[in-house]
Structure 1
């Protein structure tokens, strides 16, 4: 399992999630985006639909039906009903599914930084877990740490 920590210092989650999701979907992957905040999930969904002028990233919300057909599923719990192997934690609140995801993108900001540091420490030494820490620097993502 790989956990990618993304510190949101400039862009909010609804601007970052479409970038991550596009890459995964382009590789025929499926994504589960988790946030306990209904409004945040709504902003993310809107951003996915409007991601590019020449296209969109189809997505649906858990509970709306046809979850298994969604390439990108938004939910408040880490239950990959769409068969996702990739998890994006958009609200900075760590969660794990019953089965480990292939890769977890853990987005956090100033408000959730303390929790993110604790999660980094908690995952230290866990067998089979690789971690990377990324931060925004001059408009780009830069890798700051790896374990």
Structure 2
């Protein structure tokens, strides 16, 4: 199980998340995006439809379409109704249920850095969990820092 911590410094979630989602879908895998607040889920739904003019990223908010058919599903909890093996936690909150997936992407900004550090440390003691920490350099490129 791999957990990638993405510290959002220069690039906001609205630019980072679609890139990750596109890569997951292009690999043939499915993604569950988790945000607790319904208004955040709605904003992510709009984002994935419009992040670039020429892209198409098939997705839905849980409960609004046939969840089982969605390559990308936006939900309020960590229940992969679409059969996803990848999960993106996008509201800065770590959820241990993400450990049931093959890969987890944990996005957080400076407002959630203390909670991310706690999650990072708690995962160090877990067998079978590979942690990677990604931070952006001054040019905006993602670099693995740990």
The TM-score normalised by the length of structure 2 is 0.93
Would you identify which runs of 4 or more consecutive aligned residues in structure 1 move more than 6 Å? none
Change (3 A) 1:119 1:88: same
- Aligned counterpart, 1:141: 142
Whether the aligned pair in 2 keeps the contact of 1:51 and 1:57 (CA below 8 Å) is: no
Partner-residue secondary structure (3-state), 1:54: coil
| Structure 1 CA distance for aligned equivalents of residues 77 and 120 of structure 2 | 21
| Structure 1 CA distance for aligned equivalents of residues 88 and 98 of structure 2 | 15
Whether 1:121 and 2:113 are equivalent positions in the alignment is no
Partner-residue secondary structure (3-state), 2:100: coil
Whether the aligned pair in 1 keeps the contact of 2:87 and 2:103 (CA below 8 Å) is: yes
Whether the aligned pair in 2 keeps the contact of 1:14 and 1:40 (CA below 8 Å) is: no
- Aligned counterpart, 2:49: 49
Whether the aligned pair in 2 keeps the contact of 1:78 and 1:96 (CA below 8 Å) is: no
Partner-residue secondary structure (3-state), 1:97: helix
Whether the aligned pair in 2 keeps the contact of 1:34 and 1:77 (CA below 8 Å) is: yes
Change (3 A) 1:98 1:5: closer
Whether the aligned pair in 2 keeps the contact of 1:34 and 1:75 (CA below 8 Å) is: yes
- Aligned counterpart, 1:90: 90
| Structure 2 CA distance for aligned equivalents of residues 6 and 115 of structure 1 | 13
What's the offset of the Cα at 1:96?
A: 3.3
- Aligned counterpart, 1:68: 68
What's the offset of the Cα at 1:126?
A: 0.6
Partner-residue secondary structure (3-state), 2:145: strand
